[in-house]
Amino acid sequence: MGISQRINDSLFEKAGALFRSHFGHPHSAAAYAPGRVEVLGNHTDYNEGFVLSAAIDRGTFFLARKSSSPACRLLAGDVREEARFPMGEIHPGTSQRWSNYVKGVVAQLRDRFGLTDGFEGLFLGNVPLGAGLSSSAALEISTGLALARLYNVDVPPLEMARIGQKAEHDFAGAKCGLLDQVTSLFGRQAALVMTDFRTLAVESVPLGAEWCFLICNTAVKHSLVDSEYNERRRRCEEATLFFAGRLPHPVRALRDVSWDEFEAHRGAMDPITARRAAHVIGENTRVLKARQLLTAGQVAEFGTLMFESHVSSQTNFENSCPELDRVVEAARANPEVLGARLSGGGFGGSVVLLAPPRSLPAVSSAISAAYKNSFGHACEIMTILPVAGAHIL
């Protein structure tokens, strides 16, 4: 049994004991959902493109027991704080905002299946907050799976992903895509999840047990991240319209434009719009190439694509920052690191590095020292293993 499995087993035992202590009896249904890391395919999801991601060995447990009344009691196991709400009237709240992720899932299950009985629920997890590893999706999916078992209702995986996404949209106020929820549900041990965001087809791409990831969390957040994100999305839409008017085939999104077609027409584009499009089209190209490389066992070549992705983020999409760039620079100088790039939306956050487990202590030390030398303090570094997706316990 690996260290991460022992940690999760201990966390589940702790959650069960806390449930009994708080509610006076044991739970009757439980589920676990992992967080996720984006490995390749940056800002391609809303362009109907391709993403490679991984479910990670940190996640959230949700334990529940049905109540004989319409009252719902929800305990946040980490802060020992309880939220209460009636099954018949579920609304997002301005206090205890952490409960909104659960409320959004519960409201949809209630509306779909006519639920009337309340429940007692508890969640407890170990996904670091603010590291870009999607603790919110882990909570949404573990909630959905545990309550589906509790109320004996059947929800297909992609529908469960949409339930989690809608909870985030309507109750948490975050207009996320489906990447987080899909990855949490479809993860596989020692493999990556490849998602086609036009068809929502999901496949498993082998990575191998001899490789793992480091997450370097800079804890930096760009103050203008929302406006920057909106600008990038608008430029992608402009580029789509540009190519739709010039190419001899239908163009519904940038995923419909090949790299050769982009090169042939980029000279007629607004320069900034062209750079934004170059990133997305290039990322789709890299993800498709990565699938071929990993299937053939060419992991080192896959790592090179990660480095190329970060360069594109720096020069084309301009969603990196000095802190992220310093981590990638230090990673590139380390012969044990196969690849590194920013992970997630950018403008701060985390870098994901690919390396063999035996080298992790030395790599972590070198990256931390380089970062501290540049910014006066170390960045948080953690080891991440690709693992199986969410499941009922």
Give residue-wise pLDDT tens across range 78-107. 999 999 999 999 999 888 989 999 999 999
Cross-strand bridge partners of residue 191 = 206
Token digits of residue 262: 């982009």
For residue 3, the model assigns a pLDDT of: 59
Residues 320-330, mean pLDDT to the nearest whole number:
96
pLDDT grade for 2, boundaries at 50, 70 and 90 = low
Mean pLDDT (the chain, rounded) = 94
Active site residue 180: yes
pLDDT at residue 226 is higher than 90: no
What's at 102, amino acid-wise? V
End-to-end CA distance of the chain: 17
pLDDT at residue 223 is higher than 70: no
- Of residues 127 and 294, the one with the higher pLDDT is 294
Q: Which of 45, 57, 180, 256 is catalytic?
A: 180
Cβ atoms of 180 and 389 closer than 8 Å: no
Residue 114 exposed, middle or buried by CB count within 10 Å (0-12, 13-18, 19+): exposed
R_g of the chain, CA atoms, integer Å: 22
Residues 260-280, mean pLDDT to the nearest whole number:
97
Distance of alpha carbon 84 from alpha carbon 82, whole angstroms: 7
What's at 282, amino acid-wise? G
For residue 228, the model assigns a pLDDT of: 83
The predicted-structure confidence for 118-154, as pLDDT tens digits, reads as follows 999 999 999 887 777 889 999 999 999 999 999 999 9
Buried b (16+ CB within 10 A) or exposed e, 373-384: eeeeeebebbbb
Distance of alpha carbon 246 from alpha carbon 254, whole angstroms: 13
Domains plus CATH for the chain?
3-40+55-206 (3.30.230.10)
pTM of the model: 0.92
Which residue from 9, 51, 55, 2 is spatially nearest to 357, judged by alpha carbons?
2
pLDDT at residue 1 is higher than 70: no
